[in-house]
Structure 1
Amino acid sequence: MAFPLFSAFMENPSSSATAVVTREQFHTFHKIDRTLFTRLVYPLSRDVDQSFLAMGFLMMLEQSGYAPDLIASLCSLPDIVVDAVANEVSVCINLLFNHHYASTVLAANNDDNTIIPLLLRITKGRFTLTLINASRETFCTLLTNNWNDFCIRAFEDICEKVRKYNREKLLASEREKYLEELRNLRLGCLQQVSPNRNVQNVAVAYPLPPPPVGEEANKAAAVRMLAEEERAAKAAADDRTIFLTFSKGYPISEEEVRVYFTKRFGDVIGAIEMQQVEGEQPLFAKLVLKPSCALMMEEIVSARFKNKFTINGKHVWARKYVRKNILSASTSTHV
Structure 2
Amino acid sequence: MAGSSSHSSATVPVSQEEFNMFHTIDRTLFTRLVFNLGRDPAEATQVMALWLWLEMVGKEIDMVYSKILSLPDALLNALVDESVMALACIESDKFPFADSADNIPLIQNLTKSGASLRFFHDNRTGIIRGVTRIINEVCVRAFEDIVKLAQGNQEILNFPVNFSGPLMNSLLPACYSNPGVDRVHPPHQIGPSEILQGFDPYDLSVQRHILNTEIGEVLSRLKLSAGKEEKEVPPDDRTIFLTFSKGYPISQNELNEFFTMKFGDIVEAIHMQEVLLPAEQPLYARLIVRLASTIGVVLEGKSRAKFSINGKHVWARKFVRKSPIKLPPKSSPPPSQPTSPPANK
| Relative contact order higher in (CA < 8 Å, ≥ 6 apart) | 2
Instruction: Answer 1 or 2: which has greater helix percent.
Output: 1
- Give the shorter-chain TM-score range: 0.3 to 0.5
TM-score, with length taken from structure 1: 0.46
TM-score, with length taken from structure 2: 0.45
